[in-house]
């Protein structure tokens, strides 16, 4: 039972991170390897707002989320729009370079000590008992809840709203989308904004749970196999992939070797690439286009 | 018949198309350069000598990655994993069997070739992004295997490797290392340059251009891709072996993703599709942190920022990489060629064709 | 004749800075008319169209001379979505629809011209193509060629265009369907008052509906006039309509039939 809870928490962490990879890839065909750093930036945003709005934790959270959205838009406006039309390698390398730059800048700005935003917000990470004898931390529950909300919101946005449809249209056929009057830069900036927003949210919640340190970046990197396993262009796939990777990771750590934690996602990824490179729910033709 | 001399030079024989150095000036410059390289260790101080050794060592890996990515067009983010494979093969053979270097070096090369096949297999099905990701996954797995060996055998801080010995003589002095590494780098460079002029090299460029067309021309795409991976990772693993001996120390921590990124940066900053680019990129990337250090000392920031030198390096490196990607995708070679053209044409400056762009 | 809605002035387009695909093309499209731009493969029709719809930069081509003027505004260097916002919608030759989106979503995704009524434009698309109404929830990737063409025109109409550019409408459609589509275009004009520029290889059907025609060859306009005039022209009859000739020296429609017949014999 406890294992099921652990899987659920880990899967929702991965899923919350993954949707950033998927959103950016779907719209712009770029795999953002700066996602881990952007997550961390989101978490530091919370750290900053937590001390700014002392005693108003909810305001601090909202401000930090808004900040993350703005950072995503800024990243596109400052760097990534220049990469449209460049080769896949150049664009991916630009995200890697951005990640390095951000990591260095964050070390300069915030130091390398582990921070505890939860304490700054004045909250306790209570442990909640569940039927069946399992326990879940309050932040863990919040993680599952917000993953559900984010995915629900994204599905509603992409399926139900006009901007969501335009986003899907632009991802599928940018030329035709431009002909239909859709401004591609706007769509791309929006997807970067949303991706950084969700990633930042994930970063904040993880930081609330486990403290804020540089291992956050590794979690971000470990989540992207989940996105690939599910299929890089599918949100449903991201959910499924996160579940697969999280289950494999929790079970193997439990029954085989705790040291495996860092590589399990990559083993799953390789297995998937051999069997079904486009992922569980991905589109098959994508492979030829990249 | 003696045709009137015109400016420029024309190749009149087939062999001249293949010559590595085809003018007298080039040959002369090359000789001067080689002489300078040979004289270098006798004038350089200890730090300068260590830097030169680092550059030479890294240039092996950079040339290997350039062959794979710059010429054959196969993206790899697993370069540090391959270096690690070479280094760990050396370390493990030394620790377990006390093997001498003339056994560990070929063993590392073999391990590299085998891993090259494994790294290359995904490339038969995957392209672009997916290939990059699969090599990245392999990187983590190799590093995990190395780390696992360290912890299992109780070398949790790393494996200590003694310098290579030949009879009584041990290779432990920087100046001797310099000549060994110089020879290795020169051999790799010549090998790469010659390979690129051969059928294999042409096949690589063809699959880089367009796989379907290459296949239609009778090139076995699978063989070309696999051979690119195998050649590249063999060289890289040999570099890893030398790295292990040079440092005298092997640890999984040394082969982080950041190392891969440094190598990719060498190729990018140097300029894709050029061996000269690989060398220029290596020099740039290896010296960059020292240059930043020196700059901070000059500005008097060193004391204040001494605890965060690492962070300054990181962000400056990221920034430089972005600047190159955005403003000079041709890399240092692009700058170099433009400078050459400028001097060639001076004082007759040519403007690009007018027109809206 | 009132001031033209679209005017190309001595347009010259160069690919990769060296290959000139279109040289000195001038044409005028008066508001409320259907104008046909005819020519065989490689005549420069599509390039002209791309220069008008803002797509010229994508193929490393640029307008090196001349201008594209839409409603008094120069548009040759605008990006595609700005051109659409001014009221020019293109029905492209290939990749006509968003295949993973449903028919309704295809229509919804289009951004209407500012000031136009969105809902009205979409309703109009359904009115002109009732078949789309029945297929609303169907994914566009599963539509037949004819249905796709209807959806492509419909979603262009959802942009509420003042000028509709139609590229190779007849390609890949059955002859009966082509005539049907041409009639629908006349309906479009009647209902929306939109001006239409038809780019076609199939001169026969295009001249049925057009008010005026231009003929391009090798990147130049070689002939223009009313459909009656063009149909009467000897060369047009021979090369584009396949009905003229009579001199016997050049290949005529009859010879083609003869050839087919003999081939059947041999086969």
Using a CB-CB cut-off of 8 Å, the residues of chain C touching B355 are: 14, 17, 62, 64
Using a CB-CB cut-off of 8 Å, the residues of chain B touching A44 are: none
Question: What does DSSP say about strands C34-38 and C195-200: parallel, antiparallel, or unpaired?
Answer: parallel
What's the Rg (C-alpha) of chain C?
A: 19
Using a CB-CB cut-off of 8 Å, the residues of chain B touching C63 are: 356
Residue C166's region, left for phi above 0, alpha for psi from -120 to 50, else beta, is beta
Would A243 be classed as within a structural domain?
no
- Residue boundaries of the structural domains of chain C: 6-232
What token pair was written down for A287? 């492979």
Chain C contact for B356 (CB, 8 A cutoff): yes
Query: Which ipTM score applies to this complex?
Result: 0.84
pLDDT at B351 over 60: no
Q: What is the structure's pLDDT at A156?
A: 94
> What's the rounded mean pLDDT across residues A218-229?
87
What is the per-residue pLDDT across B224-274, written as a single tens digit (0 to 9) for each? 999 999 999 999 999 999 999 998 889 888 898 889 999 999 998 998 888
Chain B contact for C56 (CB, 8 A cutoff): no
> What's the rounded mean pLDDT across residues C150-154?
92
The confidence band for C29, taking pLDDT boundaries of 50, 70 and 90, is very high
pLDDT at A241 over 50: yes
> What's the rounded mean pLDDT across residues B87-99?
90
Q: Residue A199 is part of which domain span?
A: 2-215
Strand partners, C27: C8
Single pTM value for the model? 0.84
Which SS3 state, helix, strand or coil, does residue C38 take?
strand
Q: What is the structure's pLDDT at B92?
A: 92
The confidence band for B44, taking pLDDT boundaries of 50, 70 and 90, is confident
Helix or strand run (H / E) with residue A136: strand A135-137
Chain A contact for C176 (CB, 8 A cutoff): no
Class of domain C6-232: alpha beta
Q: What is the structure's pLDDT at C258?
A: 40
Chain B contact for A88 (CB, 8 A cutoff): yes
What token pair was written down for C144? 């037949």
pLDDT at B188 over 90: yes
Q: What is the structure's pLDDT at C34?
A: 92
Binary contact (A100, B318; C-beta < 8 A): yes
Q: What is the structure's pLDDT at C257?
A: 42
Q: What is the structure's pLDDT at C259?
A: 36
Q: What is the structure's pLDDT at C256?
A: 42
CB of B94 closer than 8 Å to CB of B161: yes
> What's the rounded mean pLDDT across residues A1-7?
87
CB of C101 closer than 8 Å to CB of C140: yes
What is the per-residue pLDDT across A97-125, written as a single tens digit (0 to 9) for each? 999 999 888 888 887 788 887 777 777 77
Q: What is the structure's pLDDT at B350?
A: 55
What token pair was written down for A235? 């949100």
C 42-61 residues with CB below 8 A of A? 53-55, 58
Nearest to C181 by CA among C151, C155, C159, C201: C151
What is the per-residue pLDDT across C189-234, written as a single tens digit (0 to 9) for each? 998 889 999 998 888 888 888 999 998 888 888 888 888 888 887 7
Q: What is the structure's pLDDT at C61?
A: 77
Long-range contacts (CB closer than 8 Å, 24 or more residues apart) made by A52-61 = A54/A122, A55/A122, A57/A121, A57/A122, A57/A123, A60/A121, A61/A121, A61/A204
Alpha-carbon distance B237 to B58, whole Å?
A: 12
**Chains in contact with A, where contact requires at least 3 CB pairs less than 8 Å apart:** B, C
What is the per-residue pLDDT across C79-105, written as a single tens digit (0 to 9) for each? 888 889 999 998 888 767 898 889 999
Q: Range with the lowest mean pLDDT among A17-26, A41-50, A281-290?
A: A281-290
Binary contact (C77, B356; C-beta < 8 A): yes
What is the per-residue pLDDT across C231-262, written as a single tens digit (0 to 9) for each? 887 777 766 666 654 444 444 444 444 433 33
Q: Could you tell me the end-to-end alpha-carbon distance of chain C, in angstroms, rounded to an integer?
A: 56
Q: Which residues contact B83 (CB under 8 A, 6 or more apart)?
A: B61, B236, B237, B239, B240, B243, B255, B259
Chain A contact for C159 (CB, 8 A cutoff): yes
What is the per-residue pLDDT across C31-83, written as a single tens digit (0 to 9) for each? 999 999 988 777 888 888 888 888 776 667 788 888 899 988 888 888 888 88
Alpha-carbon distance A221 to A244, whole Å?
A: 16
Q: Range with the lowest mean pLDDT among A4-18, A72-86, B295-309?
A: B295-309
Q: How many domains does chain A have?
A: 1
Which residue from A minimizes the CA distance to B316?
Answer: A101
Q: What is the structure's pLDDT at B305?
A: 65
State the average pLDDT for chain B. 85
Please tell me the distance in Å from A112's CA to the nearest CA on chain C. 46
Q: What is the structure's pLDDT at C260?
A: 38
Q: What is the structure's pLDDT at C252?
A: 43
pLDDT at B29 over 60: yes
Using a CB-CB cut-off of 8 Å, the residues of chain C touching A286 are: none
| Chain centroid, CA B4 distance in Å | 44
Q: Which residues contact C242 (CB under 8 A, 6 or more apart)?
A: C252, C253, C256
Using a CB-CB cut-off of 8 Å, the residues of chain B touching A274 are: 122
Please tell me the distance in Å from B304's CA to the nearest CA on chain C. 50
> What's the rounded mean pLDDT across residues C172-188?
88
**Chains in contact with C, where contact requires at least 3 CB pairs less than 8 Å apart:** A, B
Q: What is the structure's pLDDT at A286?
A: 47
Q: What is the structure's pLDDT at C96?
A: 79
Query: Tell me, what DSSP letter sits at residue B253?
Result: G
Would A238 be classed as within a structural domain?
no
């Amino acid at each position: 039972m406890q294992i099921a809870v652990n899987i659920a928490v880990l899967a929702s962490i991965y899923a919350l991170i993954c949707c950033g990879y998927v959103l950016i890839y779907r719209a712009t065909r770029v795999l953002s390897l700066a996602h881990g750093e952007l997550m961390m930036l989101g978490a530091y945003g919370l750290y900053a707002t937590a001390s700014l709005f002392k005693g108003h934790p909810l305001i601090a959270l909202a401000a930090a989320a808004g900040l993350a959205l703005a950072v995503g838009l800024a990243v596109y406006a400052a760097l990534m729009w220049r990469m449209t039309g460049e080769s896949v390698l150049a664009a991916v390398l630009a995200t890697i370079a951005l990640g390095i730059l951000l990591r260095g800048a964050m070390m300069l700005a915030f130091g390398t000590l582990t921070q505890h935003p939860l304490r700054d917000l004045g909250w306790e990470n209570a442990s909640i008992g569940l039927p069946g004898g399992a326990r879940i931390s309050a932040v863990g529950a919040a993680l599952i809840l917000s993953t559900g909300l984010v995915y629900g919101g994204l599905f509603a946005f992409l399926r139900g709203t006009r901007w969501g449809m335009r986003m899907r249209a632009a991802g599928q056929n940018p030329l035709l989308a431009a002909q239909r009057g859709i401004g591609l830069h706007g769509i791309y900036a929006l997807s970067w904004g949303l991706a950084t927003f969700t990633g930042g949210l994930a970063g904040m919640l993880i930081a609330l749970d486990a403290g804020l340190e540089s291992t956050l970046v590794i979690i971000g990197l470990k989540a992207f196999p989940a996105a690939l396993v599910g299929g890089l262009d599918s949100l449903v796939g991201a959910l499924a992939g996160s579940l697969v990777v999280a289950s494999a990771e929790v079970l193997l750590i439990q029954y085989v070797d705790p040291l495996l934690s860092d590589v399990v996602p990559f083993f799953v990824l390789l297995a998937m690439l051999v069997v079904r490179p486009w992922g569980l729910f991905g589109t098959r033709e994508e492979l030829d286009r990249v | 018949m003696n045709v009137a001399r015109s400016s420029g030079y024309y190749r009149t024989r087939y062999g001249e198309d293949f010559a590595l150095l085809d003018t007298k000036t080039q040959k002369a410059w090359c000789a001067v350069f080689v002489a300078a390289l040979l004289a270098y260790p006798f004038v350089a101080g200890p730090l300068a000598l260590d830097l030169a050794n680092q550059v030479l060592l890294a240039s092996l890996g950079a040339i290997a990655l350039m062959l794979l990515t710059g010429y054959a067009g196969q993206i790899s983010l697993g370069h540090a994993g391959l270096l690690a494979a070479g280094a760990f093969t050396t370390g493990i053979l030394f620790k377990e069997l006390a093997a001498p270097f003339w056994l560990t070096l070929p063993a590392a090369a073999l391990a590299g070739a085998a891993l090259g096949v494994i790294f290359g297999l995904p490339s038969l099905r995957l392209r672009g992004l997916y290939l990059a990701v699969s090599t990245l996954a392999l990187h983590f797995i190799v590093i995990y295997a190395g780390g696992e060996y360290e912890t299992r055998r109780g070398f949790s801080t790393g494996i200590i490797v003694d310098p290579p010995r030949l009879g009584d003589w041990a290779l432990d002095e920087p100046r001797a290392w310099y000549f060994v590494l110089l020879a290795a780098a020169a051999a790799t460079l010549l090998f790469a340059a010659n390979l690129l002029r051969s059928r294999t090299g042409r096949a690589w460029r063809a699959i880089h251009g367009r796989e379907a067309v290459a296949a239609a021309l009778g090139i076995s795409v699978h063989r070309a891709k696999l051979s690119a991976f195998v050649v590249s990772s063999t060289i890289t693993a040999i570099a890893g072996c030398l790295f292990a001996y040079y440092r005298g120390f092997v640890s999984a921590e040394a082969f982080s993703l950041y190392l891969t990124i440094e190598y990719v940066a060498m190729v990018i900053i140097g300029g894709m599709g050029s061996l000269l680019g690989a060398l220029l990129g290596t020099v740039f990337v290896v010296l960059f942190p020292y240059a930043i250090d020196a700059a901070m000392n000059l500005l008097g920031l060193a004391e204040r920022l001494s605890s965060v030198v690492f962070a300054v390096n990181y962000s400056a490196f990221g920034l430089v990489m972005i600047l190159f990607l955005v403003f000079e995708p041709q890399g240092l070679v692009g700058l170099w060629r433009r400078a050459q053209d400028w001097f060639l044409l001076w004082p007759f400056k040519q403007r690009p064709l007018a027109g809206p762009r | 004749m009132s001031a033209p809605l679209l005017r190309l002035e001595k347009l010259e387009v160069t690919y990769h800075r060296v290959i000139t695909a279109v040289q000195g093309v001038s044409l005028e499209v008066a508001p409320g008319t259907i104008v046909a731009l005819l020519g065989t493969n490689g005549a420069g029709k599509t390039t002209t169209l791309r220069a008008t719809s803002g797509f010229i930069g994508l193929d490393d081509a640029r307008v090196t001379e001349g201008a594209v003027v839409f409603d008094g505004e120069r548009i040759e260097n605008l990006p595609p979505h700005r051109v659409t916002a001014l009221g020019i919608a293109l029905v492209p030759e290939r990749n006509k629809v968003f295949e993973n989106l449903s028919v309704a979503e295809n229509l919804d995704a289009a951004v209407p011209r500012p000031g136009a009524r969105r809902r009205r434009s979409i309703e109009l698309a359904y009115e002109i193509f009732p078949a789309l109404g029945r297929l609303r929830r169907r994914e566009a990737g599963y539509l037949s060629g004819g249905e796709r063409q209807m959806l492509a025109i419909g979603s262009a109409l959802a942009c509420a265009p003042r000028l509709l550019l139609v590229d190779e409408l007849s390609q890949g459609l059955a002859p009966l369907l082509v005539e049907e589509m041409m009639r629908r275009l006349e309906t479009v004009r009647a209902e929306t008052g939109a001006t239409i520029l038809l780019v076609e290889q199939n001169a026969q059907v295009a001249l049925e509906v057009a008010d005026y025609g231009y003929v391009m060859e090798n990147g130049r306009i070689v002939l223009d006039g009313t459909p009656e005039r063009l149909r009467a022209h000897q060369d047009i009859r021979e090369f584009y309509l396949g009905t003229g000739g009579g001199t016997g020296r050049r290949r005529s429609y009859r010879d083609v039939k003869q050839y087919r017949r003999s081939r059947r014999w041999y086969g």
